[in-house]
Amino acid sequence: MASLHVIDHPLIQHKISLMRDKNTGTKEFRELVSETAMLICYEATRDLPLKEIEMETPVCMAKTKIVSGHKLAFVPILRAGLGMIEGVTSLVPAAKIGHIGMFRDPETKESVKYYCKLPDDIAERDVILVDPMLATGNTAVSAITELKKLGVKNIKFMCIISSPEGAAAIIQNHPDVDIYCGTMDQGLNEDKYIVPGLGDAGDRIFGTK
Ligand code: URA
């Protein structure tokens, strides 16, 4: 059964408040997204398996631990997910990065994949899918379905702000996927924006509005 992790560390709450402010400019917003992604990723990687190794310190031989097990890939959902990549790869520099682009078909309202480029060995990797805003959950649910079709078995979803509707959609459709977010907001407005949210994350990261 999936679990929902709201990582409400004071630094994360503080940074999210700064991101919510409509007067926060592009440069600062982008830095905040990256820093918050790093802090949430710290928790999302808490269960990485370790193995014991032996090494020589300047003082003596020591048994000590390093990360082992499956290799990791981060997959940002285009385009806003790109803003989280610098932060998460600063924690796990050896991780590979794939990309998934999805858009909402205006007629069917379904999420349609328009781009997908993933590491060749994606089926052997644990994947952390990243998107700053989990709103309706349609895009996240479709992206997870795509990864599963390619054989990925262990998927986590990481966002900065979740709506209750989005989290419920993932839990209902993909009960094996753990969700990590920095805050759970009130819900969605009629335009499917998260309330209070922070507006359009992609526009604010890339300065397109
Ligand atoms: N995507 C965004 O960037 N913001 C929202 O509030 C919802 C979806």
CA within 13 Å, CB half, 115: 11
Determine the Cα–Cα distance for residues 180 and 114; give it in Å rounded to an integer: 25
pTM of the full structure: 0.95
Q: Looking at domain 4-49+60-206, which of 3.90.550.10, 3.10.580.10, 3.40.50.2020, 1.10.8.60 is its CATH number?
A: 3.40.50.2020
List the pLDDT tens digit at each of the 209 positions of the chain: 779 999 999 999 999 999 999 999 999 999 999 999 999 999 999 999 999 999 999 999 999 999 997 799 999 999 999 999 999 999 999 999 999 999 877 777 678 899 999 999 999 999 999 999 999 999 999 999 999 999 999 999 999 999 999 999 999 999 999 999 999 999 999 999 999 999 999 999 999 98
Determine the Cα–Cα distance for residues 148 and 23; give it in Å rounded to an integer: 40
For the chain, give every domain's residue range: 4-49+60-206
Distance from the alpha carbon of residue 131 to the mean position of ligand 1, in angstroms: 10
Q: Which residues pair with 133 in a beta bridge?
A: 161
Q: Ligand 1 within 6 A of 80 CB?
A: yes
185 is catalytic: no
Give, in order, the Cα–Cα distances in Å from 141 to each of 13, 15, 174, 178: 26, 27, 7, 12
Q: Ligand 1 within 6 A of 12 CB?
A: no
* Ligand 1 atom 2, closest CA: 200
Cα 84 off chain centre by = 7
